[in-house]
Amino acid sequence: MHHFFVQSTDINDGIVVIKGDDVAHITRSLRLDLGDEISVSDGEGQKYLTELLEFGEYFVKAKVLEEFKVQAEPRVKVTLVQGLPKSKKMDMIVQKCTEIGVEEFIPIDTKRTVVNLNKKKAQKRQERWQKIVEEAAKQSKRGKIPKVKELSDLKQIIGKFDSYDLVLVPWEDEESQGLKETLGSNLEVERIMIIIGPEGGFSLEEIEQVKRAGAKSVTLGPRILRTETAGIATLSMVLYQLGDLG
């Protein structure tokens, strides 16, 4: 069954109004008919089974058949802070991590980041990634659409540490502290930040900086993962151990 997102204000008296790009997707791409059923989420934890009722040029109306709580969101809320990678690697990162269950993304510019984005380009990339996230959330039938925040730097990220129960930094030179061990001693946490370096990794100075601020550097195992793999792998392990995967 096809899944769509709407604003809670677009649901009134048992009628859902779908607007924007989804209108053409429903009527032209999918070629759905009146009477067909779709699922709709308000992005706030409620999901609706609906029946298509009316097609307009700029809207689609559907009748609510059943309402229930979304079961697709993990208990643990994970923010992925991703050092900007080259090429279109970020596209895959945001897509796959949305499918797995991330809460939000924050791209960061670090000492070894090779991608140079001015404010205008950064905003365009943010909009592109948010669109990819929305499509991935629909496909995976998420209860909410993860947010892609604006490009930040490490100092700004450190300023957010107090909002999290646990901050993890996978680091290739960490030897004594494993991710599994760290998660095993933090089973009750609810908000986690994962910080992934760019292709060149974090500098020793950056690692020491985040550790002084309270982050825990961890090893993911004996093999070195590429930046586009590390976030996906870490998120999967965190949600397997503490969330709802598996």
What distances in angstroms separate CA 32 from CA 35, 75, 136, 141, 144, one per listed residue? 9, 34, 20, 18, 23
pTM above 0.85, yes or no: yes
CATH topology of domain 77-242: Alpha/beta knot (3.40.1280)
Dihedral (CA of 72, 75, 77, 78) sign:
negative
Per-residue pLDDT at 136: 96
Average of per-residue pLDDT across 187-208: 95
- Please, are residues 114 and 86 in contact by the beta-carbon 8 Å criterion? yes
Question: Alpha-carbon Rg of the chain, whole angstroms?
Answer: 20
How far apart, in whole angstroms, are the C-alpha atoms of residue 246 and residue 237? Answer: 10
pLDDT tens readout for residues 53-109: 999 999 999 999 999 888 879 999 999 999 999 989 999 999 999 999 999 999 999
Per-residue pLDDT at 3: 93
Boundaries of every domain in the chain: 3-69, 77-242
How far apart, in whole angstroms, are the C-alpha atoms of residue 90 and residue 84? Answer: 7
- Please, are residues 222 and 188 in contact by the beta-carbon 8 Å criterion? no
Nearest to 62 by CA among 43, 36, 41: 36
- Please, are residues 140 and 95 in contact by the beta-carbon 8 Å criterion? no
pLDDT tens readout for residues 30-68: 999 999 999 999 988 899 999 999 999 999 999 999 998
Q: Which CATH superfamily is domain 3-69 in?
A: Hypothetical PUA domain-like; domain 1 (2.40.240.20)
Nearest to 168 by CA among 208, 213, 218: 218
Does the structure show a pLDDT above 90 at 25?
yes
Per-residue pLDDT at 43: 85
DSSP 8-class letter at 121: H
